[in-house]
């Protein structure tokens, strides 16, 4: 119900409350039974079991489970294949455990960021003022508010004295909003302009007030946003979609090849069914599956998550790491994300000259410069600094925190930069009287004793303050103010306002009656200051990197259009040909007009939560991968809708952190750029080891297939057709030989030009034309080397047994894979163009794999299990030499790649 548009008396009557006595205890209980407690409904958390089951939804994992099941069934029937099936199943379960472990780590890190206490509220009940927890508030409660209080429900004000609230987390408004209980509003007044109401999650920064609770829990403005969050469904990430597509294609290929092999053998056996032939087809299907791929992808993404933690980003799920690398648009909130959320004085005009104020935020080490140089302070500047210091109720707690109104905090910092001691100034300059700020006068005055004289020190809106001045100080001379002076002052005020600065004027006078209450007249105007919530210094470079990387940055804020354009211009977000829009301008647009506008829009101001979701949906509809940054409750639905929701860890609300995929622990926009680079590197590495693993599987398939096609070349002593490798050999190669180098390839450092490339096409597949050619060529090289070794062992080398021929083929394939891994380190550079031994992880993995395979062959117990036999030195050297053939084929693909 829109209580902001109703009269106070009407609301009190409707809710049946006496504002002086408040609710009775019995009324509180009955209303809590009717309306419930003042709580937001929490989303149901995933249990460990649910997280575990989620790991089995990928198509590739499903194929592995089917392969394992078939192998186990065949193993039970025939006594062979049981070990193969159990090993595959163990890999799948281990992969699931690893994925759950990483999600749990992210959830624990998120929990550590949550605040441990909930805010309380001061209420009038049974005529007494008491403090209750926010959960106990109910509709009709009379709440008292003062500076520093968190607003615990939606409240219609009944009384207000100079009340201001910080609504940045809810509306995106960067400066505190003045509130007035006496204002009447229309039903269509937007949230950011409802001056007679305060809302849950906002903060009282100044003044005091009294109001009646009109909405609690899910009925509050925050509750409505929480409801929108529930309605947003999370889709699969681009990586999940890519791997699913890849797995489906692979599954179809596996079925076709297995059926073809069975059909070929069936024809060769004169159409007689043999169980061995069926088992061979099953073995080939198992060989075709890159069993290690899911585990390698999971581990590489997990390591990426750990690296991101060191770079101040908590990633909540594995695939988000890679998805960041595909981002084409970053929709960023302004307040606290691109800006410092710290009001800062940038310009001081003392009616003679303009000063540039260096230093940003609440740092007190800046300077006041004229034309880039320090200069002696004028009389007017000294007065402006004195007024900034003494007509001020804020305090500096640290370089990052101000107690009190941010505008007054900025003035306190200005006086510190001008050389004044800002701690306990009243000891040196005692305050005798004060006129607090109110929205009618739009000014504030403090009467202080300075050097045995009493001074009225006043600051306020320039256009209102000038009306109280009859004199002006220019060029060190105090004289009567004239129309030209007023015109000059108001013109300068307008210049600053058009640049999105918040402008305050300054004036003073001496008095002999400091306790009087009519001293805000006959003032001497001395100048004005211009302040703004400045951009983060590092954000400009980060945005430039985004543009270089082909990523569009779009500002979406609840702040005013003028302010948004000024900040966007300073950060180079507003590009040539780009437009800036406000929510008011798009209200009456058709869906088509809105879509056309958003595709050209760089800045969108005065946005609502529904605007943000609509913008993200339009971008996604047009093929963009969207990263949405934000820290406020108002950002949360869009954070959830975007492929990558990025919340702020320090200033971010708990709702925004819950809705996001990624949390920046330092609230630094540059961490997003680091994450994008990390994501691109990870995808590049995933592509490298996927080509490496799949080409090995293709090579194994071709090896078995060609040995059957040319079976007359591979005949045993008893005239039987022989296969170069069995299922157990193929499984060893897939798991023990390929997986270690694949892990190492996943640890490759970023290519030097990775952030100079445009984001990859969202439709790009892991197995596209380019990678398919690589896979076939490299697989053919592996097949050629393996068949050659098998043939030499069977027909050429004197004294070699069938087991030794199989061992030669097996060892050749193993060496071929290990040597080829060094070529796989780069997709474009040849081996002689980089140091092939610079990846220490790859060196270690090759060394371990060689050691394991030699142990397998030369330890009698393991050799017997795998039907292998030790090789002579010449046989070993031949196998090793043939192992270089696949590496040469891999280098050949780089020539083909450059010609495509």
For 347: left if phi > 0, alpha if psi spans -120 to 50, otherwise beta; the answer is beta
DSSP bridge partners of 422: none
Distance CA 239, CA 4 (A): 47
Highest-confidence segment of 181-190, 291-300, 522-531: 522-531
The Cα-based distances of 662 to 340, 341, 388, 643, 653 in angstroms read 20, 21, 40, 11, 14
Retrieve residue 219's tokens. 């009925």
pLDDT, mean of residues 102-111: 52
Lowest mean pLDDT among 38-47, 556-565, 691-700, 801-810: 38-47
User: Is the pLDDT score of 257 beyond 80?
Assistant: no
- How far apart (Å, rounded) are the C-alpha atoms in residues 378 and 569? 33
Residue 116 above 50 pLDDT?
no
Please tell me the predicted confidence (pLDDT) of residue 722.
Answer: 84
- Section 515-538 average pLDDT: 91
Q: Lowest-confidence range among 298-302, 496-500, 540-544, 885-889?
A: 298-302
Paired sense of beta strands 523-532 and 469-474, if any: parallel
Lowest-confidence range among 178-182, 184-188, 226-230, 679-683? 226-230
8 A C-beta contact, residue 366 and residue 417: yes
Rounded (10°) angle between helices 884-899 and 802-823: 40
* pLDDT for the residue 109: 44
Which pLDDT score, from 0 to 100, does residue 287 have? 62
CB 578 within 8 A of CB 600: yes
Query: Which of the residue ranges 232-241, 298-307, 399-408, 519-528 has the most confident prediction, judged by mean pLDDT?
Result: 519-528
- pLDDT band for 118, please (50, 70, 90 cuts): very low
- Cα distance between residue 196 and residue 5, in whole Å: 9
Tokens of 180: 């007035």
Q: What is the mean pLDDT of residues 844-856?
A: 93
**Higher per-residue confidence, 495 vs 607:** 495
Confidence of residue 280 (pLDDT cuts 50, 70, 90): low
Q: Which two tokens stand for residue 850?
A: 């060689």
Q: What is the DSSP letter of 150?
A: B
Per DSSP, which regions of 267-367 are E strands?
A: 313-315, 329-332, 344-349, 354-357
Q: What is the CA radius of gyration of the chain?
A: 36
pLDDT tens sequence across 36-66 = 988 876 656 677 777 777 777 766 677 777 7
Rounded alpha-carbon distances, angstroms, from residue 510 to 186, 434, 456, 458: 45, 15, 6, 12
pTM of the predicted model as reported, rounded to 2 decimal places: 0.70
Residue 128: partners with Cβ closer than 8 Å, 6 or more residues away: none
Q: Supply the pLDDT for residue 110.
A: 42
pLDDT of residue 446: 94
pLDDT at 112: 44
651 CB burial (10 A radius; 0-12, 13-18, 19+): middle
DSSP state of 761: P
Q: How far is CA 154 from CA 124, 226, 899, in A?
A: 16, 15, 65
**Angle subtended by helix axes 670-709 and 769-791, to nearest 10:** 40
How far is it, in rounded angstroms, from Cα 661 to Cα 68? 33
In the chain, the percentage of residues whose pLDDT exceeds 70 is: 87
Q: Region 295-321: what's the mean pLDDT?
A: 79
In degrees and rounded to multiples of 5, residue 637 shows phi and psi of -60, -40
Work out the angle at residue 164's Cα, subtended by the Cα atoms of residues 163 and 169, and round it to the nearest 5 degrees: 145
Mapping DSSP to helix (H, G, I), strand (E, B) and coil, where does residue 41 land? coil
pLDDT at residue 290 tops 90: no
Which letter does DSSP use for residue 334 in this model? S
Would you place residue 480 in the very low, low, confident or very high pLDDT band (cuts 50, 70, 90)? Answer: very high
Over residues 615-631, the pLDDT tens digits come to 999 999 998 999 998 77
Helix crossing, 670-709 with 238-268: angle to 10°?
A: 0
- Band of pLDDT at residue 807, cut at 50, 70 and 90: very high
Cβ–Cβ < 8 Å for 893, 778:
yes
Concatenated DSSP letters of 357-369? EP--TT-S---EE
Average pLDDT over residues 206-229: 83
Does the pLDDT value for residue 379 go beyond 70?
yes
**Which residue from 356, 372, 391, 334 is spatially nearest to 530, judged by alpha carbons?**
356
Q: What are the E-state strand segments in 631-736?
A: 644-648, 662-664
Task: State the burial class of residue 348 (Cβ atoms within 10 Å of its Cβ: 0-12, 13-18, 19+).
Answer: buried
**Is residue 824 a contact partner of residue 890, using CB atoms and an 8 Å limit?**
yes
Q: Are 269 and 277 in contact (CB under 8 A)?
A: yes
Task: Give the range with max mean pLDDT: 465-479, 535-549, 560-574, 885-899.
Answer: 465-479
Q: Is the pLDDT of residue 111 over 50?
A: no
Contact 196, 179 (CB under 8 A): yes
Distances 580 to 191, 585, 765, 790 between C-alpha atoms, Å:
21, 10, 35, 69
Mean pLDDT across 773-779: 90
- Measured in whole angstroms, the distance separating CA 139 from the mean position of its chain's CA atoms is 37
pLDDT tens-digit series, residues 333-370:
887 778 887 889 999 999 999 999 988 777 778 888 88
Cβ partners under 8 Å of residue 252, min gap 6: none
* Residue 696, pLDDT above cutoff 60: yes
User: What whole-number distance in Å separates Cα of residue 828 and Cα of residue 832?
Assistant: 12
Q: What is the mean pLDDT of the chain?
A: 84
As annotated, the active-site residues are 333
DSSP-derived pairing of the beta strands 395-398 and 401-403: antiparallel
Q: Could you tell me which of 288, 191, 317 has the C-alpha nearest to residue 634?
A: 191
For residue 42, count other CB atoms closer than 10 A to its CB. Answer: 8
Strands (E), 265-358: 313-315, 329-332, 344-349, 354-357
For residue 487, name the pLDDT band (cuts at 50, 70, 90): very high
No. of H helices and E strands in the chain?
A: 31, 28
pLDDT at 534 over 70: yes
Categorize the per-residue pLDDT at 104 as very low, low, confident or very high, splitting at 50, 70 and 90. low
Calpha distance 734→284 (Å, rounded): 12
From CA 739, how far away is CA 737, in angstroms rounded?
6
Compute the average pLDDT of residues 782-789. Answer: 95
As given in the structure block, the two tokens for residue 478 are 């105090």
* Tokens representing residue 792 in the block: 């030499």
Q: Report yes or no: 559 and 604 within 8 Å, Cβ to Cβ.
A: no
Q: Which residues contact 478 (CB under 8 A, 6 or more apart)?
A: 471, 472, 524
What percentage of the chain's residues is helix, strand, coil (to nearest 5)? Answer: 50, 20, 30
Distance in angstroms (rounded) separating the CA atoms of residues 756 and 149: 48
At 62 the pLDDT is: 74
Residue 796: count other Cβ atoms within 10 Å of its Cβ.
11
pLDDT, position 276: 64
What is residue 495's predicted lDDT score, i.e. its pLDDT?
93
Beta strands in 669-797 (DSSP E): none
């Amino acid at each position: 119900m829109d209580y902001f548009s109703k009269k106070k008396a009407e609301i009190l009557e409707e809710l049946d409350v006496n504002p002086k006595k408040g609710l009775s205890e019995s009324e509180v209980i009955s209303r809590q039974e009717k309306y419930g407690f003042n709580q937001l409904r929490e989303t149901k958390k995933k249990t460990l079991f649910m997280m575990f089951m989620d790991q089995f939804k990928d198509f590739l994992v499903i194929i592995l489970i089917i392969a394992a099941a078939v192998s186990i069934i065949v193993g039970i029937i025939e006594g062979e294949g049981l070990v193969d099936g159990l090993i595959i199943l163990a890999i799948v379960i281990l992969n699931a455990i690893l994925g759950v472990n990483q999600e749990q780590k992210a959830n624990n890190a998120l929990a550590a960021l949550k605040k441990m206490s909930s805010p309380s509220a001061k209420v009038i009940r049974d005529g007494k003022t008491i403090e209750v927890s926010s959960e106990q508030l109910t509709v009709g409660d009379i709440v008292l508010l003062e500076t520093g209080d968190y607003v615990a429900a939606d409240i219609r004000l009944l009384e207000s004295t100079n009340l201001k609230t910080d609504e940045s987390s809810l509306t995106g408004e960067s400066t505190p909003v003045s509130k007035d209980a006496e204002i009447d509003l229309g039903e269509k007044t937007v949230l950011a302009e409802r001056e007679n109401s305060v809302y849950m999650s906002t903060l009282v920064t100044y003044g005091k007030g009294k109001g009646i609770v009109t909405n609690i829990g899910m009925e509050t403005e925050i509750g409505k946003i929480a409801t929108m969050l529930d309605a947003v469904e999370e889709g699969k990430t681009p990586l999940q979609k890519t791997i699913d597509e890849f797995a489906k294609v692979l599954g179809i290929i596996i079925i076709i090849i297995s059926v073809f092999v069975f059909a070929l053998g069936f024809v060769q056996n004169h159409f007689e069914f043999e169980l061995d032939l069926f088992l061979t087809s099953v073995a080939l299907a198992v060989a075709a599956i890159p069993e290690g791929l899911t585990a390698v992808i999971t581990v590489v993404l997990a390591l990426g998550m750990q690296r991101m933690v060191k770079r101040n980003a908590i990633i909540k799920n594995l695939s988000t790491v890679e998805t960041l690398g595909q981002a084409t648009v970053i929709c960023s909130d302004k307040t606290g994300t691109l800006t410092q959320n710290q009001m800062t004085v940038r310009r001081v005009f003392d009616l003679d000259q303009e000063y540039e104020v260096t230093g940003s935020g609440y740092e007190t080490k800046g300077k006041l410069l004229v034309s880039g140089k320090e200069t002696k302070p004028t009389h007017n500047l000294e007065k402006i600094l004195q007024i900034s210091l003494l007509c001020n109720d804020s305090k500096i707690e640290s370089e990052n925190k101000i107690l009190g109104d941010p505008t007054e905090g900025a003035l306190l910092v200005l006086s510190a930069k001008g050389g004044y001691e800002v701690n306990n100034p009243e000891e040196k300059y005692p305050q005798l009287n004060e006129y607090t700020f109110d929205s009618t006068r739009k000014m504030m005055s403090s009467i202080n004793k300075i050097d045995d004289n009493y001074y009225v020190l006043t600051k306020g809106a320039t256009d209102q303050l000038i009306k109280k001045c009859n004199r002006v100080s220019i060029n060190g001379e105090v004289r009567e103010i004239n129309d030209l002076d007023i015109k000059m002052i108001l013109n300068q005020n307008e210049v600053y306002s058009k640049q999105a600065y918040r402008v305050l004027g300054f004036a003073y006078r001496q008095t002999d009656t400091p306790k009087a209450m009519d001293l805000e007249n006959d003032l001497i105007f001395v100048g004005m200051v211009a302040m703004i919530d400045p951009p983060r210094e590092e954000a400009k470079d980060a945005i430039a990197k985004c543009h270089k990387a082909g990523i569009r940055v779009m500002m979406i804020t609840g702040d005013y259009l003028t302010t948004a354009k000024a900040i966007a211009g300073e950060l180079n977000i507003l590009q040539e040909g780009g437009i800036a829009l406000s929510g008011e301008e798009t209200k009456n647009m058709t869906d088509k007009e809105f879509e056309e506008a958003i595709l050209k829009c760089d800045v969108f101001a005065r946005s609502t939560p529904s605007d943000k979701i609509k913008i993200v949906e339009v971008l996604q509809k047009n093929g963009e991968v969207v990263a949405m940054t934000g820290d406020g409750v108002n950002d949360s639905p869009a954070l959830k809708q975007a492929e990558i929701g990025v919340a702020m860890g320090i200033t971010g609300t708990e709702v925004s952190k819950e809705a996001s995929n990624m949390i920046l622990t330092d609230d630094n926009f540059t961490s997003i750029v680091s994450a994008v680079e990390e994501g691109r590197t990870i995808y590049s590495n995933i592509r490298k080891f996927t080509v490496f693993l799949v080409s090995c599987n293709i090579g194994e398939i071709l090896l078995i297939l060609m040995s059957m096609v040319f079976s007359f070349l591979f005949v045993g002593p008893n005239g039987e057709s022989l296969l170069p490798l069995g299922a157990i050999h193929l499984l060893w190669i897939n798991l023990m030989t390929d997986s270690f180098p694949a892990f190492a390839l996943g640890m490759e450092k970023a290519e030097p030009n990775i952030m100079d490339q445009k984001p990859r096409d969202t439709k790009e597949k892991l197995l596209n034309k380019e990678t398919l050619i690589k896979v076939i060529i490299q697989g053919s090289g592996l097949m050629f080397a393996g068949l050659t070794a098998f043939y030499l062992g069977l027909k050429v080398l004197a004294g070699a047994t069938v087991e030794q021929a199989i061992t030669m083929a097996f060892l050749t394939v193993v060496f071929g894979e290990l040597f080829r891994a060094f070529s796989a380190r780069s997709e474009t550079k040849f081996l002689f163009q980089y140091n092939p031994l610079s990846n220490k992880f790859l060196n270690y993995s090759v060394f371990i794999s060689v050691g394991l395979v030699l142990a397998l062959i030369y330890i009698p117990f393991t050799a017997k299990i795998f039907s292998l036999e030790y090789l002579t030195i010449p046989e070993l050297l031949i196998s090793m030499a043939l192992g270089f053939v696949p590496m040469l084929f891999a280098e050949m693909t780089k020539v083909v790649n450059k010609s495509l």
